[in-house]
Amino acid sequence: MRGEPVTKGSYLHLLETKKHWLNPPALSTERYCTKVYKYVTSQVEFDFFPCYLVLTIRPGDIVQLPIWGLHHNPRHWPDPEAFIPDRFLPKNKGNISSFAHMPFGMGPKNCLAMRFALMEAKVALAKLLLGTEMELAQGHEEVTLERQGGLLRSKGLNIKIKPIVEE
């Protein structure tokens, strides 16, 4: 199996991107602050007095970024719980806010093995889909997720996999 059909413009690529958006490999990431940042909110009411809140992040502070929360925020994603892989089509990339989609982190501190992990997952899924018939085992029609060590994984998922036999 060649890599190009798996990585470029395929529906499998959209499904993989959507899967990592819906359930990112890590729920959050942290960054170490190296310089002073001040964030001023828009005007808010506090005891009936209009005011602005100022958040100051200083060198040495650790900032936690909630990846799962960003991926499920309706301010960035209309109907965030819906399974819509077409959101990630090249023509729709301009609709995605910067840093609203970062399943492997962003910038110089993102996951070094991201490309390898994505390729490996796509090849494994493609080979599985091409060579087997799959269905959820009886009593496992609903998938539940659990958090474990900062990661999100399925809980008690049983799938029946039968090889496709050519006659």
Binding residues for heme: 111
Q: CA-to-CA distance for 158 and 97, rounded, in angstroms?
A: 36
Please tell me the distance from the alpha carbon of residue 52 to that of residue 38, in angstroms, as a whole number: 12
Instruction: Summarize the annotated binding site as residue ranges.
Output: 111
